Amino acid sequence: MGLAIGLVGLPNVGKSTTFNALTKAQNAEAANYPFCTIEPNKAVVPVPDKRLAELATIVNPEKIQYSTLDFVDIAGLVKGASKGEGLGNKFLSTIRETEVILQIVRCFDDENIVHNEGSIDPLRDVEIIEGELILADIEVLSNRIDRLKKQAKADKSAKASLEMAEELIEFLADGNLARNFDKTDTDEYRQLNNEVRFLTDKEIMYGANTDEDGLLEDNDYVKLLTEHAAKNNCEIIKLCAKVEEELIDLDDDESQEFLAELGVKESGLEQIIHKGFKKLGLMSYFTAGVKEVRAWTIKQNSTAPRAAAAIHNDFEKGFIRAEVIAYNDYIECGGETKAKEAGKMRLEGKEYIVQDGDVMHFRFNV
Least distance in angstroms from the C-beta of 213 to ligand GTP: 11
| Residue 17 vs 297, nearer CB to ligand GTP | 17
With CB under 6 A as the rule, give the number of residues binding ligand GTP: 25
Measuring CA to CA, which residue among 78, 89, 306, 105 is closest to residue 225? 105
| Residue 209 vs 284, nearer CB to ligand GTP | 209
Assess 35 for contact with ligand GTP (CB under 6 A).
yes
Which strands sit side by side in the sheet containing 41-46, from one edge to the other? Answer: 41-46, 68-73, 4-8, 100-106, 203-209, 235-239
Measuring CA to CA, which residue among 299, 261, 255 is closest to residue 277? 299
Residue 340 CB neighbours (<10 A): 13
The listed partner (Mg ion, ligand GTP, none) that binds 51, CB under 5 to 8 Å by sort, is: none
Least distance in angstroms from the C-beta of 165 to ligand GTP: 33
Contact region with ligand GTP (CB under 6 A), list: 174-182, 238-246, 271-279, 302-310: 238-246
Contact region with Mg ion (CB under 5 A), list: 8-16, 56-64, 130-138, 171-179: 8-16
Residue 78 CB neighbours (<10 A): 19
Angle, helix 122-154 to helix 220-231, in steps of 10 degrees? 20
Contact region with Mg ion (CB under 5 A), list: 10-18, 79-87, 216-224, 263-271: 10-18
Q: What span, in angstroms and rounded, lies between the C-alpha atoms of 211 and 197? A: 35
| Residue 25 vs 320, nearer CB to ligand GTP | 25
Determine the straight-line distance between the first and last CA of the chain, rounded to whole angstroms. 29
Q: What span, in angstroms and rounded, lies between the C-alpha atoms of 125 and 119? A: 10
Residue 235 CB neighbours (<10 A): 19
Assess 98 for contact with Mg ion (CB under 5 A).
no
Contact region with ligand GTP (CB under 6 A), list: 31-39, 147-155, 182-190, 291-299: 31-39
Residue from 30, 69, 269, 339 touching ligand GTP (CB under 6 A): that is: 30
Assess 6 for contact with ligand GTP (CB under 6 A).
no
Q: What span, in angstroms and rounded, lies between the C-alpha atoms of 268 and 249? A: 17
Assess 31 for contact with ligand GTP (CB under 6 A).
yes
Buried b (16+ CB within 10 A) or exposed e, 279-311: bbebbbbbbbeeeebbbbbbeeebbbbbbbbbb
190 to 219: interface string for ligand GTP, x by CB under 6 A: -------------------x-x--------
Residue from 3, 36, 160, 196 touching ligand GTP (CB under 6 A): that is: 36
The listed partner (ligand GTP, Mg ion, none) that binds 357, CB under 5 to 8 Å by sort, is: none
Assess 12 for contact with ligand GTP (CB under 6 A).
yes
Contacts to ligand GTP from residues 303-342, by CB under 6 A: none
Measuring CA to CA, which residue among 169, 80, 94, 198 is closest to residue 129? 80
Q: What span, in angstroms and rounded, lies between the C-alpha atoms of 313 and 355? A: 20
With CB under 5 A as the rule, give the number of residues binding Mg ion: 4
Contact region with ligand GTP (CB under 6 A), list: 27-35, 166-174, 226-234, 352-360: 27-35
Assess 16 for contact with Mg ion (CB under 5 A).
yes
The listed partner (Mg ion, ligand GTP, none) that binds 11, CB under 5 to 8 Å by sort, is: ligand GTP
Sign of CA dihedral 91, 92, 97, 102: positive
Question: Can you count the helices (H) and strands (E) in the chain?
Answer: 15, 12
Q: Please answer whether residues 37 and 75 qualify as being in contact, where contact means their C-beta atoms are separated by less than 8 angstroms.
A: yes
| Residue 3 vs 36, nearer CB to ligand GTP | 36
Residues that bind ligand GTP (CB under 6 A): 9, 11-17, 30-32, 34-37, 75-76, 108, 110, 113, 209, 211, 240-242
